[in-house]
Amino acid sequence: MERLTTKLKDFCVLILFLVLLPVQLWSQSDTTVVAEEPEIDYASGTFHSTRIINGHSVEQMLQRQLEFRISHRFGETSSGAYNLFGLDFSQIHFSLEYGVKDWLELGIGRSNFEKTFDGFVKVTLLRQSTGDRNWPFHLTYVGSTEVTGLKWTNPAADNPFSSRMAFVHQLLIARKFSKSLSMQLTPVFVHRNLVGEAIEPNDLYALGIGGRYKITRKVSFNAEYFYVYRQNAKYLDPQFYNPLSVGFDIETSGHVFQLMLTNCRGMREGGFIGKTTGNWLDGDFRLGFNISRTFSL
């Protein structure tokens, strides 16, 4: 009987060992997986807003975030005191911009500048990071379509709907150098199905450069310039100028308020690239602002 009891005890120990062995092996394997997870630190807050001033920045809405944005550009200050230095006139653009994913944003908008409707897609391709994955800059693609709603000056002419359309493709290449300083390069291609003069090209190429410098945690100074390559530009009337804008970002709870001086009337790439007629040297710049409100859905 004693011998049978001893064998029974040995059998129970063996069964317990076989049961606990897989648990132990699983625990060791699971510990190995956790230890091998990469540690990546992504740069955030490269800019305060999804726009530097007129042009897109690499910032975008996160998943299920909705931004309502209103932009105003007043008249040229050179119009004088009778027009309150341009404040009697106004261009306006409003838009809704939604984060489908953290890396994908869609937007639609409307401007009274040439009564333009626009829509865009914004895709994050690469993010600046340090740690186990070291990458030196952000890379984002933006593609947009703009449709003008102006009445034709000659209704009898055969003008198809496609004549109203323009298409924009751009890459945003940005780097956050420090907590205060961020810079961005923006190569842009614009195709317009219909142009004002035969000598004017349908395709435009531009290179934008912009940056922000944080003055305080909530306030930054921004500047933005686009060099537009235009064949035969000296023969065009009126003369077109490159867009130049300077301003300040003021971040508040749930809002970003951007105040600027710019020589642009248009607030989308098809408007301010190739259609800017204001000359800073002649005082042809205007006061403007953007204000945005973000909602989490």
Residue-level pLDDT at 25? 46
My answer on whether 16 and 137 are in the same domain is no
Residue-level pLDDT at 210? 97
Half-sphere exposure of 224 (CA within 13 A, CB side): 26
Can you give the CATH number for the domain in which 221 is found? Answer: 2.40.160.40
Helix (H) or strand (E) holding 88: none
My answer on whether 29 and 153 are in the same domain is no
| Conformational region of residue 16, where left means phi above 0, alpha means psi within -120 to 50, and beta covers everything else | alpha
My answer on whether 164 and 221 are in the same domain is yes
My answer on whether 139 and 194 are in the same domain is yes
What gap in Å lies between CA 214 and CA 48, rounded to an integer? 9
What is the rounded end-to-end Cα distance, in angstroms, of the chain?
Answer: 73
My answer on whether 93 and 23 are in the same domain is no
My answer on whether 52 and 158 are in the same domain is yes
Residue spans of the chain under pLDDT 70: 1-36, 198, 231-238
My answer on whether 33 and 100 are in the same domain is no
Strand partners, 245: 224, 262
Residue-level pLDDT at 17? 47
How many domains does the chain contain in total? 2
Residue-level pLDDT at 248? 97
My answer on whether 192 and 83 are in the same domain is yes
My answer on whether 178 and 59 are in the same domain is yes
Quote the domain boundaries for residue 5: 1-37
